[in-house]
Amino acid sequence: MAQRNVAWRELPWLLMAGWALAVGLLLGGACMLLRQREARRRAEELLRLGQVARLNALGELAAGMAHELNQPLTAMLANTQAARRLLAEEPPELGTARDAMAKAIEQARRAAEVVARLRRAIERPDRHGRREPVALQDAVRSALYLLEPECARRGVSVSFDPGAAVRVLADPVALEQIVHNLLINALQALDTMPPEQRRIAIDVAARGAMGQLVLSDSGPGIAADALPRLFDPFYSTREGGLGLGLSLSESLASEMGGALAADPSVARGARFVLSLPLLAQTPA
């Protein structure tokens, strides 16, 4: 068997280096893609969790409230109905009836105290804090970024022309949650439409002292009888819907000195208008 010593110089250094570099780049690129996907997943999760936490807290609050209010209401009803019966007797039992009414009054105060306690509990001390300049376009972009896979999956085409930045004063997380909720609602409304008619359009503009974000969809629109109750808590037109998305969004918007409304003049589909105070108009 013939043997030959290979000198270091003779090895294909360039080829080997090129190969190593290519593998390294590939691996690096794959890692980056994975990290990006992970980051998006995490951001989505966070937003969803925030929402769920808010909704859970609301659900528990509602159940606790129901019991706390039911007790005084039960006592009030029983006392007043007993009083009515006592007064209808021949001769009327005035003394006992009077006592029953006094107790009913006491219970009405107890119910009012429950409501006051609830309001104190949900009034956060920081509810007027945490405002910063945000471009409405940025909020739309990040909400769209999170929901991009969902839009693609449902075959919904989204048109959004950013234009010049409209800067408002808002809590960026709350703002993103509102846009997210509006987008989710639009996506769900479009489920009933044939795939080629599933469109969402988002426009951002400054109107007077307010920055406006208008989100329109080509869905079935809002029934006339649903319109007045649209922002009521626990009102939903969707089966199994909690009915808190829009009510929550509306209270977030008004907490920031803005408003959320449905445009009833729209001919087809649904249109929601979110208004927030423009940065330039707000005294620093």
Partner 1 sequence: MNPPLSPLIHLIDDDQAVRDSLALLIGTVGLRVQTWSDPQVFIDEFDRGGIGAIVLDVRMPGISGLTVLDRLVAQGVDQPIIMLTGHGTVEMCRRAFKSGAAEFLEKPVDDEQLLEALQHAVRQHVNSRERTQADQSARDRFAQLSEREREVLGMIVAGLTNKEIARALALSPRTVETHRANLFAKLDCDSLAQLIRRYAALAERAAP
CA separation (Å) from 32 to 35, 37, 39, 41, 43? 5, 9, 10, 14, 16
User: Angle at which helices 13-87 and 94-122 pack, to 10 degrees?
Assistant: 170
Asked if 78 is part of the footprint of partner 1 (rule: CB under 8 A), the reply reads yes
Q: Does 107 bind partner 1 (CB under 8 A)?
A: yes
The one segment of 49-57, 75-83, 138-146, 190-198 that binds partner 1 by CB under 8 A: 75-83
Measure the CA–CA gap between 262 and 260, rounded to whole angstroms: 7
- Neighbouring residues of 248: CB distance < 8 A, sequence distance ≥ 6: 54, 55, 58, 177, 181
Q: Between 83 and 174, name the residue whose CB sits nearer to partner 1.
A: 83
**Per-residue x/- marks for partner 1, 22-61, CB under 8 A?**
----------------------------------------
Within 123-220, residue ranges assigned H as helices are 136-154, 172-190
**Does residue 96 bind partner 1 (CB under 8 A)?**
yes
* Binding region for partner 1 (CB under 8 A) out of 100-108, 173-181, 182-190, 211-219: 100-108
CB of 71 to partner 1, least distance (A): 5
DSSP per-residue codes, 88-126: TSSS--HHHHHHHHHHHHHHHHHHHHHHHHHHHHH--TT
Q: Sign of dihedral through CA atoms 244, 132, 200, 183? A: negative
The continuous run of DSSP H or E covering 284 comes out as none
d(CA 42, CA 184): 18
219 forms beta bridges with: none
- Looking at 20, 57, 77, 152, which residue binds partner 1 (CB under 8 A)? 77
Q: Does 74 bind partner 1 (CB under 8 A)?
A: yes
User: In the bound complex, what is the minimum distance in angstroms from residue 245's beta carbon to partner 1?
Assistant: 23
Cα–Cα distances in Å, from 178 out to 167, 184, 215, 240? 16, 10, 11, 21
Q: Is the peptide bond before 91 cis (omega within 30 degrees of 0)?
A: yes
Contact between 63 and partner 1 by CB under 8 A: the answer reads yes
With binding defined as CB under 8 A, does residue 103 bind partner 1?
A: yes
Interaction of residue 100 with partner 1, rule CB under 8 A: yes
By C-beta, is 76 or 279 nearer to partner 1? 76
Shortest CB 103 distance to partner 1, Å: 6
Q: Is 75 in the site for partner 1 (CB under 8 A)?
A: yes
- Residues in the interface with partner 1 (CB under 8 A) total 24
Q: How far is the CB of 76 from partner 1 (least distance, A)?
A: 7
Q: Which residues bind to partner 1, rule: CB under 8 A?
A: 63, 66-67, 70-79, 81-82, 85-86, 96, 100, 103-104, 106-107, 110
